[in-house]
Each structure stands twice: as structure tokens, then as C-alpha cells.
């Protein structure tokens, strides 16, 4: 555990320092948040708060990941060399998702509209990264296509023609769900940090060292970013952060052969997504809304909950839900 703690603390310190450097630069460049007109009225005062802060997490992962990969690849220990090789696709896919988010954020800011990258180009980018990651796992690292089925304590081996589309759907759904969760100060960062911690603990239990290292870097990076992102936020993560974190969670789950576990441990992003789907379907059918506003965190906000209360409750739900799952699995 000493090694993991060291990585978390170094990543946290690096992320915090990156925040101190990056946020004033983003302010100077006037990289400000554009609030959706249809969003809560209370959010309009957030207009102008620097966004694209996910770059802080991205740079921390890039620098820490590159440093560990470089040192391990030069090691005389063959196990460490193997860890370095297996870390590369995890880092590359996560950074890949982050870069798509970064382009999206830049488009929004340069064009001064809230639309950003055209959906077809965004989807194409996400597809390329997802397919690339899935193929790398199965064809280059030869990790197989076994997929763990929660509660049944068994795994099924999918044929490759089914596994690749399945993995792509997992990655696209996860990034979209995390993106929807990023609506109020600190919510997405808090919830995804807990989900990443859950997956890292699974990595420790099963002795998957590359997941342990990758996860601990991200935990530290997220905690460092959270210092600036909690209400009242000094910076927002933007699509740079939400796509990066969604990609990281999906990559970890697929690598552990436990993507279906995300339906359970990523309960909050799942509920956020379902609230949007239910609202749209119901409104089209009846012309009435079930929730005051979606994603569902806005419903609670308009019901009088303050942002810190929503973040605390949603984070606690994620944590308790995971503890219950662990108890059930044992």
C-alpha cells in the first residue's frame, strides 16, 4: 500500500501545482464557461469561470504515466517491463478521449457557442479510440474476451465479432454518462474519483498492477483538481475532463474484464443518463415533464438542494452502493 499511497500523493501534488499554473492562464486566455440558456438560472452567474480544466488531470496522467512507463521499460525486472507495455493502451485511450474533449471545448470557446465539435466528428473520434483500444487489448496484448457477469460469479467468453462492438458501446455509453453527470461544481470529479477508487481496489485484490498504478495516478490527479473544482468552482473540467474520466473508467473496467460491473458501481452516471432518456420519452408522449429539469442533479437543485448537498449525497450513494456490492460478492 505504501507504493500506491506514494503515487497518489505525488499525483495530487503535481495536479495541484498544475492547477495553480493553469487556471490563471485559462483566465488570461478568457477560456470561460458558456452556460446553456435552458440550464438553471442560478448557473448563469458561472458564465466566465475558466473551463477546460480537465487538462490538469490529463497532464498529470501524461507526465506520471510516461515517467513510470519509461522507468519500468528500462528495468531488468521482466514483470515491470510487462506492466509498462500494458499501461500504454490504458493511458493512450484515456488521453485520446481527453483530446477529443479538448477539441470540443476549444471549438465552443473559439466559436462562442455551446455546440462545439459537430456530433458526427465527435462520434467518429470516440469510435476510433474505442475500436483501437478494444483491438489492442484482444489482438496485441491477447487478453481475451472473457466478460465477468456480476452476481452470477461467472464469466462468459464472447466471440471477437461481438466483443469489439460490445466494448465500443461500453466506452461510448460511459463517456456520455460521465459527461451528463458534469453539471454542478465538483459532482463529476467526486463521483468518478470514487468509481476509479473502486476499480483500483479490484485491481489490488486481483493483483493487476497496471490497473493499480493507472488508478492511483488518476485518484491523485482528480483529488488535486477537486481542490479547485468544489463549490464555488474556480475551474470546470469541460468535455476535456468528462470524456477523459469516462474513457478512463471504461478502459479500466474492460481491462479488468468487468465492464458490466459499471452498471452497478457507476450508479450515479447511469441514473443521470436514465433521467434524461425517461424525461425525453415521457415529454414526447404526453407533453409533460416528470422531473423539473434533467440530468437529475438539476431536478434536486431546482427543488432547493444546494450544490454541496447534491455532491455529498451522490458521492455517498456511490460509496455505499460499492460497499454493498463488495459485501454481496463475498
pLDDT higher than 80, residue 328: no
Taking Cα atoms as reference points, which of 98, 94, 99, 91 lies closest to residue 68?
91
Cα-based angle 138, 140, 145 (whole degrees, multiple of 5): 10
CB-based contacts of 108: which residues, under 8 Å, 6+ apart? 34, 114, 115, 116
User: Percent of the chain, pLDDT > 70?
Assistant: 92
Lowest model confidence (mean pLDDT) among 167-181, 195-209, 291-305: 291-305
The pLDDT-based confidence of 92 (bands split at 50, 70, 90) is very high
Rounded alpha-carbon distances, angstroms, from residue 77 to 83, 139, 217:
10, 24, 22
pLDDT (average), residues 108-136 = 88
pLDDT (average), residues 1-25 = 94
Report the alpha-carbon distance of residue 221 to residue 230 in Å, rounded: 14
In sequence order, what are the beta bridge partners of 200?
A: none
Q: Phi then psi for 154, rounded to 5 degrees?
A: -140, 165
Per-residue confidence (pLDDT) for residue 112, from 0 to 100: 65
Lowest model confidence (mean pLDDT) among 39-43, 119-123, 291-295: 39-43
What 3-state class would DSSP assign to 156? strand
Max mean pLDDT among 34-38, 140-144, 246-250, 294-298 falls in 246-250
Report the alpha-carbon distance of residue 244 to residue 89 in Å, rounded: 14
Dihedral sign from CA coordinates of 300, 301, 304, 310:
positive
Burial degree of 260 (CB within 10 A; 0-12, 13-18, 19+):
middle
Range list of β-strands (E), the chain: 146-149, 154-157
Rounded alpha-carbon distances, angstroms, from residue 36 to 47, 48, 112, 229:
9, 12, 12, 19
Per-residue confidence (pLDDT) for residue 133, from 0 to 100: 97
Per-residue confidence (pLDDT) for residue 69, from 0 to 100: 95
C-alpha cell at 240: 476535456
pLDDT (average), residues 244-264 = 96
pLDDT tens by residue, 68-85: 999 999 988 899 999 999
Angle of the 78-111 helix axis to the 54-73 helix axis, nearest 10: 160
CB-based contacts of 54: which residues, under 8 Å, 6+ apart? 98, 101, 102, 225, 237, 238, 239, 240, 241, 242, 243, 244, 245
pLDDT higher than 90, residue 237: yes
pLDDT tens by residue, 34-54: 655 555 555 555 667 888 999
Amino acid at each position: 500500500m505504501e507504493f500506491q499511497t506514494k503515487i497518489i500523493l505525488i499525483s495530487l501534488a503535481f495536479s495541484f501545482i498544475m492547477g495553480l499554473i493553469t487556471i490563471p492562464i485559462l483566465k488570461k486566455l478568457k477560456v470561460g464557461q458558456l452556460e446553456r440558456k435552458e440550464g438553471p438560472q442560478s448557473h448563469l452567474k458561472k458564465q466566465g469561470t475558466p473551463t477546460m480544466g480537465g487538462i490538469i488531470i490529463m497532464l498529470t496522467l501524461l507526465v506520471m504515466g510516461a515517467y513510470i512507463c519509461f522507468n519500468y521499460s528500462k528495468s531488468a525486472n521482466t514483470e515491470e517491463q510487462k506492466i509498462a507495455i500494458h499501461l500504454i493502451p490504458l493511458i493512450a485511450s484515456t488521453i485520446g478521449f481527453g483530446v477529443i474533449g479538448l477539441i470540443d471545448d476549444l471549438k465552443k470557446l473559439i466559436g462562442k457557442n455551446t455546440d462545439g465539435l459537430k456530433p458526427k466528428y465527435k462520434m467518429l473520434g470516440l469510435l476510433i479510440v474505442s475500436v483501437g483500444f478494444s483491438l489492442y487489448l484482444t489482438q496485441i496484448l491477447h487478453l481475451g474476451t472473457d466478460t465477468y457477469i456480476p452476481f452470477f460469479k461467472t464469466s462468459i467468453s464472447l466471440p471477437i465479432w461481438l466483443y469489439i462492438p460490445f466494448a465500443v458501446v461500453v466506452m461510448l455509453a460511459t463517456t456520455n454518462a460521465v459527461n451528463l453527470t458534469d453539471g454542478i461544481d465538483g459532482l463529476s470529479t467526486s463521483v468518478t474519483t470514487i468509481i476509479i477508487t473502486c476499480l483500483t481496489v479490484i485491481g489490488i485484490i486481483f493483483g493487476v498492477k497496471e490497473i493499480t498504478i493507472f488508478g492511483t495516478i488518476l485518484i491523485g490527479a482528480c483529488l488535486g483538481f477537486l481542490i479547485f473544482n468544489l463549490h464555488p468552482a474556480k475551474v470546470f473540467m469541460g468535455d476535456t475532463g468528462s470524456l477523459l474520466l469516462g474513457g478512463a473508467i471504461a478502459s479500466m473496467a474492460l481491462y479488468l474484464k468487468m465492464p458490466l460491473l459499471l452498471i452497478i458501481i457507476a450508479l450515479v452516471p447511469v441514473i443521470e443518463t436514465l433521467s434524461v432518456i425517461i424525461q425525453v420519452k415521457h415529454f414526447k408522449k404526453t407533453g409533460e415533464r416528470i422531473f423539473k429539469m434533467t440530468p437529475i442533479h438539476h431536478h434536486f437543485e431546482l427543488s432547493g438542494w444546494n450544490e454541496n448537498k447534491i455532491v455529498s449525497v451522490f458521492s455517498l450513494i456511490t460509496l455505499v452502493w460499492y460497499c454493498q456490492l463488495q459485501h454481496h460478492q463475498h
